[in-house]
Amino acid sequence: MRFVTISDVEAAAERVKGTALHTPLLPQLWAPGQLWLKPESLQPIGAFKIRGAYNAIAALPDAQRERGVVAYSSGNHAQAVAYAAQVFGIPAVIVVPDVTPRLKVEATRRWGAEVREVPIAERESAAHEVARERGLTLIPPFDHPDVIAGQGTVGLEIAANLPDVDTVLVPVSGGGFASGVGTAIKAKCPGAKVYGVEPELAADTAASLSAGKRVDWPIEDRARTIADGLRAQPSELTFAHLQRVLDGMITVTEDEIRDTVRVLARQGRLVTEPSGATAPAAYLHHSAELPGGRTVAIVSGGNIDPALLAELLA
């Protein structure tokens, strides 16, 4: 297994420049201690996923890229691949479960992608079949070095803007984001601690890191969390990275996530999806488990159903 290096992340940063936004660090003066938010929710597609998807597509040999790409996802990765493909002017097929809400299907079509709706159990196999038949390249959501390197550009930006950061909080699902961010932070700010954050209803990575090997949580269990972007589990590749780069894991409750969506809207003036609020939730509700100091909490995305946001604000 080859680990992603800081050079890979730096090469990714060159590629994503001009497509992914260099998001600012927002000081939060209302919070106790020293907290900065890194609002990846303000990316063009509303989430950090654009970084990894764009980097993976940009890194393909020209002839292969021209034939097009395929992804299976109904979430932010789908929009990231569709949008990146549009930037390159190449075909994209997004395979989604046939139960996907209309709104998400339309959001993906907006970027010119072809959306294929299939029964949920056939999603992955259908994507592989489309890839084979039409010569498209599959862009995985996390299990790929170029995706990890792309997500890691968030860590490079944190290191550039706050070189003396003490603690970085990053959400963990499939682990590509935390792998990339951790790789960048450990290389650029060796004194800083990197903590992964999970909902307690999908805390398979905390369990896995304790056990020293990957522990499987049934999807029925993980599906219970309101943080719908954090229901995946690490691959062999990302788990190996997480074992290297993470200093610890924090698990947050559903109530803490809901509360933090509300607090970020009221105090931080940011619209955040539940998954995007988990890292700030760890700061607000679990400070005793963290080393403290100058802390950056990454807000990973902002694609929340407006009705849910209204409910949480009321």
Q: Which is nearer to a copy of itself, 113 or 130 (CB)?
A: 113
User: CB 142 → a copy of itself: shortest distance, Å?
Assistant: 22
Which residues face 296 on adjacent strands?
A: 36, 168
Beta-carbon count within 10 A of 94 CB: 29
Q: Which is nearer to a copy of itself, 83 or 239 (CB)?
A: 83
Tokens at residue 266, please?
């009221």
Q: Which one is catalytic: 74, 179, 235, 300?
A: 300
User: CB 276 → a copy of itself: shortest distance, Å?
Assistant: 9
Q: Name the 3-class secondary structure at 115.
A: strand
Q: Name the 3-class secondary structure at 300.
A: coil
| Nearest in space to 47 (alpha carbons), one of 73, 13, 20, 26 | 20
Q: Which is nearer to a copy of itself, 27 or 33 (CB)?
A: 27
Instruction: Quote the Cα angle for 213-175-101, to 5°.
Output: 125
The H or E element that residue 204 is part of is helix 204-211
**49 counts as catalytic:** yes
Q: Which is nearer to a copy of itself, 240 or 309 (CB)?
A: 309
User: CB 189 → a copy of itself: shortest distance, Å?
Assistant: 20
CA dihedral of residues 157, 251, 186, 145 (deg, nearest 10): -80
Q: Which one is catalytic: 38, 41, 49, 275?
A: 49
**186 counts as catalytic:** no
Residue 18 has what DSSP assignment? T
Q: Which is nearer to a copy of itself, 42 or 207 (CB)?
A: 42
Which residues in this chain contact a copy of itself in the complex, by CB under 8 A?
21-24, 26-27, 29-30, 39, 41-42, 44-46, 83, 110, 262, 265-266, 268-272, 302-303, 306-307, 309-311, 313-314
The dihedral built from the CA positions of residue 162, 167, 171 and 173, taken in this order, carries a sign that is: positive
The alpha carbon of 304 is separated from its chain's Cα centroid by a whole number of angstroms, namely: 15
Task: Show which residues are catalytic.
Answer: 49, 300
